[in-house]
Amino acid sequence: MTAQTERHGVADDNLPARYNGIRKTTTDLCRNLSAEDQVIQSMPDVSPTKWHLAHTSWFFEEFILAPHSPGYQRFHPRYGYLFNSYYNGVGEMHGRTERGLLSRPSVADIGAYRKHVDWHMQALLNAPDLPKAVADLILLGTHHEQQHQELLLMDIKHVFSVNPLQPAYQHPQPRDAGARRPMTFIRGKQGITVSGHNGDGFSFDNELPQHRSYLQAHAMASRPVNNAEYLAFIREGGYRRPEFWLSDGWSTIRQRGWNRPLYWSDALDAEFTLAGLQPLNPDAPVCHVSYYEADAYARWAGARLPTEAEWESMARASLSGPSGHPRHGNFMDSGYLHPMAAGAAGPAADGQPDLPVQLFGDVWEWTSSGYASYPGFRPPAGAIGEYNGKFMINQMVLRGGACVTPRDHIRASYRNFFYPDARWQFAGIRLARDTA
Amino acid sequence: MTAQTERHGVADDNLPARYNGIRKTTTDLCRNLSAEDQVIQSMPDVSPTKWHLAHTSWFFEEFILAPHSPGYQRFHPRYGYLFNSYYNGVGEMHGRTERGLLSRPSVADIGAYRKHVDWHMQALLNAPDLPKAVADLILLGTHHEQQHQELLLMDIKHVFSVNPLQPAYQHPQPRDAGARRPMTFIRGKQGITVSGHNGDGFSFDNELPQHRSYLQAHAMASRPVNNAEYLAFIREGGYRRPEFWLSDGWSTIRQRGWNRPLYWSDALDAEFTLAGLQPLNPDAPVCHVSYYEADAYARWAGARLPTEAEWESMARASLSGPSGHPRHGNFMDSGYLHPMAAGAAGPAADGQPDLPVQLFGDVWEWTSSGYASYPGFRPPAGAIGEYNGKFMINQMVLRGGACVTPRDHIRASYRNFFYPDARWQFAGIRLARDTA
Amino acid sequence: MTAQTERHGVADDNLPARYNGIRKTTTDLCRNLSAEDQVIQSMPDVSPTKWHLAHTSWFFEEFILAPHSPGYQRFHPRYGYLFNSYYNGVGEMHGRTERGLLSRPSVADIGAYRKHVDWHMQALLNAPDLPKAVADLILLGTHHEQQHQELLLMDIKHVFSVNPLQPAYQHPQPRDAGARRPMTFIRGKQGITVSGHNGDGFSFDNELPQHRSYLQAHAMASRPVNNAEYLAFIREGGYRRPEFWLSDGWSTIRQRGWNRPLYWSDALDAEFTLAGLQPLNPDAPVCHVSYYEADAYARWAGARLPTEAEWESMARASLSGPSGHPRHGNFMDSGYLHPMAAGAAGPAADGQPDLPVQLFGDVWEWTSSGYASYPGFRPPAGAIGEYNGKFMINQMVLRGGACVTPRDHIRASYRNFFYPDARWQFAGIRLARDTA
Amino acid sequence: MTAQTERHGVADDNLPARYNGIRKTTTDLCRNLSAEDQVIQSMPDVSPTKWHLAHTSWFFEEFILAPHSPGYQRFHPRYGYLFNSYYNGVGEMHGRTERGLLSRPSVADIGAYRKHVDWHMQALLNAPDLPKAVADLILLGTHHEQQHQELLLMDIKHVFSVNPLQPAYQHPQPRDAGARRPMTFIRGKQGITVSGHNGDGFSFDNELPQHRSYLQAHAMASRPVNNAEYLAFIREGGYRRPEFWLSDGWSTIRQRGWNRPLYWSDALDAEFTLAGLQPLNPDAPVCHVSYYEADAYARWAGARLPTEAEWESMARASLSGPSGHPRHGNFMDSGYLHPMAAGAAGPAADGQPDLPVQLFGDVWEWTSSGYASYPGFRPPAGAIGEYNGKFMINQMVLRGGACVTPRDHIRASYRNFFYPDARWQFAGIRLARDTA
């Protein structure tokens, strides 16, 4: 990961504010959760809430305080073992599937751990001579923590969903004000395009280096596929007709008995949300589908999924400014924590007139691109080099962020990635088409 | 289960005291546990602490209050689903392996559930005309709850053992005052014996009916195998030499990589206890071994395990009175919660002179008897008939109770049972031999 | 295994005839099988035909020729590794689940191996001074080979059953001439009985020593449960009602989707046999049921399964002579290779008037007895001691032999054993009852 | 699959010769195999030899004879079920993992099936008015059969490798005459390239349509990685150091205990070949490595794997003519059936001077490209559309053919694909590098 401080806005002198704000947001997200809620691991992919709270603190302790804060004493000798997620470079770690077996350290212990780390970080953050390399690592740590804010929400949603009592994370809110919009296809750019982050401001290493690739003639859907459309796919035998499915997808849905999106009710009229079970909104984007389902839907619809280069090209065009960051959209910041119907989040949803809407926010959009390194990719030296590079196999890229992503965390070059059978993330479908 | 009120002692008019005492003991056992501790299921066999608290209450609600307390309102409509352990006769139930996925109902909710049940039980317990059948069911419920007191302790020990922080359930206590004693073999009775409960006082249905069987000429060890002896077995290659092992046992230890009792340290000099990691006491009974290990040890030692009829015959002889209940011994009541060396729990450990000691308490003793119905066994009608009978396959009988068993719960005819590969229960080894 | 030559009949001077006859029978059983047929392992429990041909030869090579025939050269240096079934005492072995991966050695190679072994055995068999210990081992080897004759037939039946072409091992034969008979219950002996082999003639070690046990008052069904009766159990919801099932049995049938005996057609009107798919004979004994199914049927029928001591006591009474061997019955020798309706195999089916019929032959009868050592059991020294003893856990005893068992291989004290979920062996149901 | 007859060479009037030649080659490949050899399925990915013989015939029966040969009678009513590999569009099929359970149909039956199909194909092949669409399907069928020739060799190699007797498919041949050559890096083209088949002559549908993509500045190794180089990787801890591995690769090698290429001996000095166990030739290309191993090797070597567009661009340049087909190289046709050292197969191994050698033949070369559809890809209508498209997920592209590939089957645009953990195919490593 190449972490570079931003030239405008979140510059070095704003780093303390950014750090403290993000750390506070994380703990705020747990306000409504009991200590018991924070212990559960409902499947191997999920981590307990308190594990997220501890792991994000460990990240600062391991990569910033321990090497760069002279005399720093680790809070607890075993936390490095317990809260290392996957960095082989810093030693042995607790098994990923065993994170839900830990009643200790308690939520209170981890709260103290967070305070301990935050306390020691203040001195570093306010040091007049903070080396740029360290500032870059701290900035990386804040983006890392934002990723875990989203993971925390995804994970607690799953935890609550497997509980027969179906608890709610927050109170239901009024249905969004979105309207039904037709889906049209909008022509994208053809020819050589430039993808990836330009190095101006922060990005993760997997967005680098900027590079050229070639776009075929194509068009992209004006909005994501909505629940009503997906329901039609189901009703027309979508899950029973092998001709729509990739072979591995067909095996997956048969072995696991899938016949609808992850959180839909058996009657196909409600879905489990962070506000509990709610009626299905036909106009809201379909969410919590796997790559296999997105791909099968697209084939049924006579379309395909976009490549990530197509998506990025269109996303850059849709933004009103050159920054690559969306200014509007349904993100974590809105507190709705559920996809909204097109238009609900504002007139143009950060889209230029006559360009696709909702490219940012609401739902992550599966692309047809396997998660691979960009040409010339070089992970940074040391354990931090494990951040992204070693996962570049067997996963597919998703773009655009979702309703549980912090708004200032996302950008046009941002690459998310999941295995094609994963669907507890807030993933939806954007269609594309070849054009003559 | 045939539940009969006892003629002496715990008669109908003592039932309220017994009920209230046992209910209080259960909650007292959780005094040192945080809410988080009470949520964890560390393996499929283990249930979370709060599940035990709820299930034992559900037992009274389902089998006593709902049918026998007019107008009783269930505390929560889903608790029947959540806290039914295995009674197909009363409906669908939550999956056994998913008990650790429930942050809700909370420990506090379940505390309220217990109070609700206890409140409604008082009226019933103090009813002047309580039918004997209902009193019998209540008595059964109290014995059921005592079984879960032991399970709760077994389970939390396992939960803590898989935590790299190795928390302690209670403070360490001084090492017991037991001395090293030689193991001798004491001749048992030969010929026809009478086994099973005589129907005088409470028993579980699996102890009935009393019946005859034939004892071969045999002798039984004067005390359980101790840690020093088991260590010698390990040091002489016990876990590496197939000739000592049943074929299924050999497969089991190879597949799971077992080379010592469950809670022993890698260096074979300490064991994890309810008071945390403690030095191994060479004179204390070896504990937490599977049937396969007990059987292999016996073969290595040139001996065998006793049959349950042999054990029961010897146990009756060792008791000072006709009641079938031990008056001394290292039980849950002592609070030590770990096996003690021979003699530590009192001069004769409830044994007659020249008879085996520690038959009761300290460790459950594996017998060579498969868990099967006694001749003429009839489970009671209805769902309560599922209590014992349907488990009479693939398991082995253990006898005598352990240091986590309530003293007044055990008796000479008491039959416990586990699969031969289970070892999280407090199980040890009593040797026997054929004699000419 | 304690192998003792018989005093009458199969004495030392008949051993060559016995050896050569049994060896020939084994190869005769393969007459209709192609080389390809002899390669297949259709599930882990099944061994390929040619493996049986080789393993039975290896038994003589390993335990008789190598130690007792001076200068004997093993046929092939790797056959000891390939064809050792489970004797840890003689070294490493090929994995049990990988027996079907061997195209080499070929059927022809193994034919040559058999000839090589037979050739060298002749000298030993005809030696004037053959030591009794060696003769005993040879006799054991012949009984061992008879066990594999039955296994070979069980296994090839399974191999053919999983082939969508449903090949037949032999031509269909006319339906047996048995008639429908009512099932009655016949009182058995009560009190002390003597079980086990008396040491007079050959037995396996697991039939020894003879010993006393106590029989409760009981009665035994006059014949095995037939297909019509079992069909009634199915039709009355036998596989859908948990109240009939042991808990482990209920799990088993649900996980594996069992709703009928192993080889029954989906329409419940035909069954796959060694003569291919044949109409179900309502009067023939039900066959290929697991212990769980036998036990559930008995509970549904208001009865129970017999103990092995009850069975043996009744079987001895039913035989016309003191030898313990049946003279009549539907065994492998008849070539029918399928259970027959009661009475089909002769007037009294080797039963005394007013005593149960078909105790021997037709189907193995599940008993309620776990497979355990008899009191005072001592396996022989060395690897041959692994023959039986190490399997005495987790399995249930079956008695009486089946239509694929060689007649002279069976006797009243003979103990067969399978895991409670096994049903590819020819296993059926004999009911018993408690009497006042 | 879009199958187009070639304009030059294999035109319509040569189709009979091509068909008959390829069919004969397939049966010739089985000359040294016994019927027993042809039954075994050594792992789920492997099919028995006779299954390949039948399936390739079924392909002609199902897609050509049944629809296009009036009055054609299928050879056997169940063969469609048994020998359909994966075409959901033509109905249910036998389970892939159960192909090794079939002793029937026999090798002889399948030989008759082949003759039956061939007989009926002659009339069609020689029909004066054979429609082009049918001729295209037949041509496709011959390429399909060539794929199975390679699969048959891969599979029987695996079958023999798991046999402790380690049989040989053919006699060993003299070691190849290749010499040790240094590995250099040769600059590739940068900028827009055209990939894919030009539609002139036969190709599979996955090679279409021809399209543009953008090549970064790069260079490619002059020859594949050889055994000596791979041995150095192993000796320097390649399999013990996580920093070289993708995360999924690291899990894979740890779970499966991999520490060397599939067929290497434990001592790292020999490898199992189709001629049995042979000394390792340090100069021959390393073979039978997974994508994970190829990728880890490249990272250790400070290089990377080529993309498929880079590979294809270089391969086109290396060929002497415009046809896209290699004229030289170590292919199945040579009968060596094992990779040779660089230069062994001829002076330039079909490479232009100063260009990489062995791009074709010897070993398939892993590329870093996930197997995905080309822009504008359209599978043909009907079941034949399942040929390639539905597998375009989770697999990686390999290029160039191997020593078991028919020479005239391969071309510059040919795309092979396997899961990243597969290594029973003849897969090796070609390195590439970014250049400034």
For B44-87, write each residue's pLDDT tens digit: 999 999 999 999 999 999 999 999 999 999 999 999 999 999 99
Q: Give the E-state strand segments of D3-140 in sequence order.
A: none
Between CA C431 and CA C220 the distance in angstroms is 6
Q: Give the E-state strand segments of C255-315 in sequence order.
A: 270-273, 276-279
Could you tell me the pLDDT band of residue C147, with boundaries at 50, 70 and 90? Answer: very high
pLDDT in tens, D119-170: 999 999 999 999 999 999 999 999 999 999 999 999 999 999 999 999 999 9
pLDDT at D6: 32
Chains with 3+ CB–CB pairs under 8 A to A are B, D
pLDDT at D245: 98
pLDDT in tens, A64-79: 999 999 999 999 999 9
Nearest of C330, A247, A436, B285 to residue D375 by alpha carbon: A436
pLDDT at D107: 98
Q: How far is CA D272 from the centre of its chain?
A: 19
Nearest to D375 among A216, A249, A392 (CB): A216
The yes-or-no verdict on residue C2 having pLDDT over 50 is no
pLDDT at B6: 33
> How close, in Å, is residue A83 to chain B by CA atoms?
12
Nearest to B420 among C390, C393, C434 (CB): C393
pLDDT in tens, D190-216: 999 999 999 889 999 999 999 999 999
Judge contact between B404 and B336, C-beta under 8 A: no
pLDDT, average across residues D271-299: 97
Note which residues in 151-170 of chain D have CB less than 8 A from chain C.
159, 162-165, 167
Could you tell me the pLDDT band of residue D353, with boundaries at 50, 70 and 90? Answer: low
pLDDT at B177: 74
Which comes out higher in pLDDT, residue D327 or A11?
Answer: D327
The yes-or-no verdict on residue D90 having pLDDT over 60 is yes
C37 chain-D contacts, CB cut-off 8 A:
103-104
- Coil, strand or helix: which one is B306? coil
A372 chain-D contacts, CB cut-off 8 A:
368-370
CB contact under 8 A, B94 and A164: yes
Percent pLDDT > 90 in chain D is 88
Could you tell me the pLDDT band of residue D86, with boundaries at 50, 70 and 90? Answer: very high
- The backbone torsions φ and ψ at residue B299, rounded to the nearest 5 degrees and listed phi first, read -65, -40
Q: Give the E-state strand segments of D198-323 in sequence order.
A: 211-215, 218-221, 270-273, 276-279
List CB contacts of D198: < 8 A, sequence separation 6 or more.
D210, D324
pLDDT at B343: 76
The pair of three-digit structure tokens given for residue B8, joined into one six-digit string: 């002496």
Between CA B175 and CA B188 the distance in angstroms is 33
pLDDT in tens, A172-213: 988 777 778 899 999 999 999 999 999 889 999 999 999 999
The yes-or-no verdict on residue D347 having pLDDT over 60 is no
The pair of three-digit structure tokens given for residue C143, joined into one six-digit string: 């009984």
CB contact under 8 A, C392 and B246: yes
Nearest of D305, D282, D332 to residue D429 by alpha carbon: D305
Judge contact between D435 and D217, C-beta under 8 A: yes
pLDDT at B311: 98
C86 chain-B contacts, CB cut-off 8 A:
247
Could you tell me the pLDDT band of residue C346, with boundaries at 50, 70 and 90? Answer: low
A212 interface with D at CB cutoff 8 Å: yes
Tokens 């009920």 belong to: B19
Judge contact between A72 and A65, C-beta under 8 A: yes
Tell me the sheet residues that pair with B366. B398
pLDDT in tens, B403-423: 999 999 999 999 999 999 999
Between CA A68 and CA A135 the distance in angstroms is 11
B39 chain-A contacts, CB cut-off 8 A:
36, 39-40, 103
CB contact under 8 A, A40 and B36: no
CB contact under 8 A, A101 and B163: yes
- The backbone torsions φ and ψ at residue D148, rounded to the nearest 5 degrees and listed phi first, read -75, -25
Average pLDDT of chain D, as a whole number: 93
Between CA A112 and CA B387 the distance in angstroms is 46
pLDDT, average across residues B236-245: 97
This prediction has a pTM of 0.95
Among C192, C208, C212, C214, the residue to mutate for chain B (most B Cβ within 10 A):
C214
Could you tell me the pLDDT band of residue D350, with boundaries at 50, 70 and 90? Answer: low
Average pLDDT of chain C, as a whole number: 93
> How close, in Å, is residue C286 to chain B by CA atoms?
22
Q: Which residue of D lies nearest to C102 if distances are taken between CA atoms? A: D163
Nearest to C376 among B88, B216, B245 (CB): B216
pLDDT in tens, A25-36: 999 999 999 999
Which comes out higher in pLDDT, residue C145 or B344?
Answer: C145
Task: Tell me how many degrees the CA angle A49-A51-A55 measures, rounded to the nearest 5.
Answer: 125
Nearest to A103 among B36, B82, B164 (CB): B36
- The backbone torsions φ and ψ at residue B33, rounded to the nearest 5 degrees and listed phi first, read -100, 135
Could you tell me the pLDDT band of residue D352, with boundaries at 50, 70 and 90? Answer: low
Q: Which DSSP letter does residue B105 get?
A: S
- Coil, strand or helix: which one is B147? helix
A39 interface with B at CB cutoff 8 Å: yes
pLDDT at C342: 83
pLDDT in tens, B136-145: 999 999 999 9
pLDDT at D206: 97
The backbone region for D196, taken as left when phi is positive above 0, alpha when psi lies in -120 to 50, beta otherwise, is left
| Element at D232 (helix H, strand E) | helix D227-235
> Would the CA dihedral through C26, C28, C33, C36 be positive or negative?
positive
> How close, in Å, is residue C19 to chain D by CA atoms?
29
Nearest to B40 among A101, A159, A163 (CB): A101
Average pLDDT of chain A, as a whole number: 93
Note which residues in 101-130 of chain C have CB less than 8 A from chain D.
101-107
The yes-or-no verdict on residue C4 having pLDDT over 80 is no
| Element at A63 (helix H, strand E) | none
A35 chain-B contacts, CB cut-off 8 A:
34-36
Nearest of A286, A263, A289 to residue A276 by alpha carbon: A263
Give the CA radius of gyration of chain B.
21
The yes-or-no verdict on residue C351 having pLDDT over 70 is no
Give the CA radius of gyration of chain A.
21
Nearest to C165 among D37, D78, D165 (CB): D78
For the ranges A8-12, A282-286, B265-269, D60-64, the lowest mean pLDDT is seen at A8-12
Average pLDDT of chain B, as a whole number: 93
CB contact under 8 A, C104 and D78: no
pLDDT, average across residues A341-361: 75
| Element at B232 (helix H, strand E) | helix B227-235
Q: Which DSSP letter does residue A61 get?
A: I
Q: Which residue of B lies nearest to A82 if distances are taken between CA atoms? A: B164
Between CA D214 and CA D216 the distance in angstroms is 7
A368 interface with D at CB cutoff 8 Å: yes
B196 interface with C at CB cutoff 8 Å: no
pLDDT at A351: 56
pLDDT, average across residues B186-205: 95
pLDDT at C320: 73
Tell me the sheet residues that pair with C280. none
pLDDT at B415: 98
pLDDT in tens, C368-405: 999 999 999 999 998 999 999 999 999 999 999 999 99
> Would the CA dihedral through D325, D328, D334, D340 be positive or negative?
negative
B245 interface with C at CB cutoff 8 Å: yes
Between CA C402 and CA C366 the distance in angstroms is 12
Among D86, D208, D214, the residue to mutate for chain A (most A Cβ within 10 A):
D214
Locate all alpha helices (DSSP H) within B236-348, ordered by sequence.
247-256, 291-300, 308-318
Which comes out higher in pLDDT, residue A323 or D311?
Answer: D311
For chain A, how are helix, strand and coil distributed in percent, rounded to 5? 35, 10, 50
pLDDT at A3: 34
Could you tell me the pLDDT band of residue B352, with boundaries at 50, 70 and 90? Answer: low
The yes-or-no verdict on residue D433 having pLDDT over 90 is yes
- Coil, strand or helix: which one is B172? coil
> How close, in Å, is residue D398 to chain A by CA atoms?
15
Q: Do the chains B and C touch each other, judged by at least 3 C-beta pairs below 8 angstroms? A: yes
Burial class (CB within 10 angstroms; exposed 0-12, middle 13-18, buried 19+) of B203: buried
pLDDT in tens, B43-53: 999 999 999 99
Cα distances (Å, whole numbers) of residue C92 to B435, C86, C101? 36, 9, 18
> Would the CA dihedral through B184, B189, B191, B193 be positive or negative?
negative
Nearest to C101 among D35, D40, D103 (CB): D40
Judge contact between D26 and D142, C-beta under 8 A: no
Cα distances (Å, whole numbers) of residue B259 to A381, B230, B266, B365? 41, 12, 9, 20
pLDDT in tens, D300-331: 999 999 999 999 999 999 887 777 899 889 99
CB contact under 8 A, B392 and C246: yes
Q: Which residue of D lies nearest to A241 if distances are taken between CA atoms? A: D88
Within 10 angstroms of residue B108's Cβ, the number of other Cβ atoms is 12
pLDDT, average across residues C134-153: 97
Between CA D392 and CA D374 the distance in angstroms is 10
Q: Which residue of A lies nearest to D302 if distances are taken between CA atoms? A: A378
Between CA A435 and CA D253 the distance in angstroms is 44
Cα distances (Å, whole numbers) of residue C95 to B382, C364, C408, D96, D99? 47, 28, 32, 23, 20
CB contact under 8 A, C106 and D165: no
pLDDT at C180: 83
Chains with 3+ CB–CB pairs under 8 A to B are A, C
Nearest to C36 among D42, D107, D165 (CB): D107
pLDDT at C272: 98
pLDDT at D399: 98
Among C195, C290, C393, the residue to mutate for chain B (most B Cβ within 10 A):
C393
pLDDT in tens, D366-421: 999 999 999 999 999 989 999 999 999 999 999 999 999 999 999 999 999 999 99
The backbone region for D401, taken as left when phi is positive above 0, alpha when psi lies in -120 to 50, beta otherwise, is left
CB contact under 8 A, D89 and A211: no
pLDDT at B176: 78
Between CA C115 and CA D48 the distance in angstroms is 30
C40 chain-D contacts, CB cut-off 8 A:
39, 100-103
Nearest to C368 among B86, B245, B372 (CB): B372
B342 interface with A at CB cutoff 8 Å: no
Q: Is the peptide bond before A174 cis (omega within 30 degrees of 0)?
A: no
C35 interface with D at CB cutoff 8 Å: yes
Cβ-Cβ pairs closer than 8 A, A with B, add up to 82
CB contact under 8 A, C376 and B89: no
The pair of three-digit structure tokens given for residue A153, joined into one six-digit string: 């929400």
CB contact under 8 A, C392 and B192: no
pLDDT at D13: 53
Tell me the sheet residues that pair with C214. C192
Between CA D304 and CA D294 the distance in angstroms is 9
Chains with 3+ CB–CB pairs under 8 A to D are A, C
For the ranges B397-406, C3-12, C32-41, D36-45, the lowest mean pLDDT is seen at C3-12
C237 interface with B at CB cutoff 8 Å: no
